[in-house]
Amino acid sequence: MTSGLVTAISVITTILGLTVSTAYVATFYLLNYNELYLAGQSGYDDTDLPYTYAIVECVISIMTCFIGLLAFSSGGRPRKKAVMIAIIFFSLAGIIAGMFGMLRAWNLGLVGDDMEKTCSDVGQATGCPTTRFEFVHDREIVYKEPVGGDCTFWFWGNKAEGSSDSMERLFDIIRLDSNDNYVNAEMQKAPRGKYKSLDQREIETFMDWSEATSYGWRDDPDALIALAVDSDSTAPVNLETLMLRKVHNMKMMMDFQTQIVGNDAKDIMEVDRFTEQPTLSYCWYWGCSRVCHGERYLINRWWLWSSLTLFTFEFVMVILSALVYRKTPVKENEEDKEDEEEGIDEEEGIDEEEYFIPLRGRRKRQLVQNPSGLMF
């Protein structure tokens, strides 16, 4: 039975380690790590936590494979010390995977309700724009095209009493009637084509919540426009090699708020104003919207199920390894016993001459050299 358990553990850990680690590596290829982090400027809030958890779990799955091969591949007779090390590793790995699974479920809004800085948060200062949009409009985000669909909309607004507006979509802001007049009264009045003192381009650029740059650092759009004007149109420009000035999108939101309120305080009521620059990079990293953050949304849920699967298998490995440990003798094989006996003999200094050699055959008397003293 012990041999069967050892074989099962070795096979399961090998298959599990290779499969899970390969799946994690595939997701690493699809996503960029720390997309919103700018060295020297960003803090902890701009770090890619779900991706970091995935890296740790990938390492755990690879080590699970190696532990299974090293500790349980000795022909069905593993050493007791090796089994104990494996139990300790499987226990720690299971605890880490279970903890990451709970953290993932909590941050994705699947556990708890309206928890701050999670995908279920609808707070004005801490909630994701997409989550707040669904809360304000009491419906899910359905599409992101054309003109940004449900993913490009006004940043300010809430359901609170006295709210200035309801996070209006860009599609509704710039919509024209049959006479080429703006349906939106704010866009139609002078200066025509401006929504609360902002241009359409500014809403399209800084309030497109399907783009990673809307939640963190981005190339300064004004610097890009100046570059396009000054550069030779026939020469290709590699933006990755240029050291363009970076701006934080949330800083731009605060600047826009100051500009809008300075123009007309009624455009953003007191209840809708931000008192400090919000930190919303977690919205992008955790993929809070199925439509606006499609790829991140799916991969984060894949990582969640991977965490739970890893936790389950590590727990099973602990149980199976404990059974093997219980049935494994202290002295694993006869060679160890023989080595131990030889060591004891050498320590006690037993002389081979002390051993009695019994007489064999018909000879009853020991032979003596020249017993009668005969002389030849």
Q: State the pLDDT at residue 80.
A: 83
Instruction: Report the percent of the chain where pLDDT is more than 70.
Output: 78
DSSP label of 363: -
Over 60: is that where the pLDDT of 118 sits? yes
Start-to-end CA span in the chain (Å): 75
348 pLDDT above the threshold of 60 = no
* Count of beta carbons in the 10 Å neighbourhood of residue 352: 5
Q: How confident is the model at residue 339 (pLDDT cuts 50, 70, 90)?
A: low
Q: Residue 192 pLDDT more than 90?
A: no
For the record, the structure tokens of 107 come out as: 């941050």
Q: Is 152 a residue whose pLDDT tops 90?
A: yes
> Which of 180-184, 190-194, 248-252 shows the lowest per-residue confidence on average (mean pLDDT)?
190-194
The predicted pLDDT at position 332 comes to 47
Give the model confidence (pLDDT) of 221-255 as tens digits. 777 666 655 555 555 555 555 567 889 999 999 99
Cα–Cα dist 21/142, whole Å: 34
Model confidence band, residue 75 (pLDDT cutoffs 50, 70, 90): low
Whole-number Å distance between alpha carbons of 231 and 375: 126
Residue 48 has a pLDDT of 93
Residue 351's CB: how many other CB atoms inside 10 A? 6
Of the candidates 227, 279, 229, which has an alpha carbon nearest to the alpha carbon of residue 250?
279
Which is more confidently placed, 100 or 83? 100
Number of Cβ within 10 Å of residue 263's Cβ equals: 14
Phi, psi (5° rounding) for residue 168? Answer: -70, 140
Given the structure tokens 């740059």, which residue do they identify?
213
Better-scored residue on pLDDT, 299 or 40? 299
How many residues does this entry show for the chain? Answer: 376
Nearest-angstrom CA–CA distance, 98 and 16: 16
Confidence of residue 209 (pLDDT cuts 50, 70, 90): very high
What is the arithmetic mean of pLDDT over 100-115? Answer: 89
**pLDDT at residue number 324:** 83
Count of C-beta atoms within a 10 Å radius of residue 338 = 10
Q: Between these two residues, 40 and 333, which has the higher pLDDT value?
A: 40
pLDDT digits (tens, 9 = 90+) for 5-53: 788 888 888 888 899 999 999 999 999 998 888 887 777 778 899 999 9
Residue type at position 221? P
pTM of the model: 0.80
19, burial (CB in 10 Å: exposed 0-12, middle 13-18, buried 19+): middle
Closest Cα to residue 271, out of 128, 129, 161, 126?
161
List of residues 6+ apart from 103 with CB closer than 8 A: 53
Cβ-count burial of 153 within 10 angstroms (0-12 exposed, 13-18 middle, 19+ buried)?
Answer: buried
Distance from C-alpha of 274 to C-alpha of 257, rounded to nearest angstrom: 8
pLDDT tens, residue by residue, 306-320: 999 999 999 999 998
Give the Cα separation of 119 and 113 in Å (integer): 10
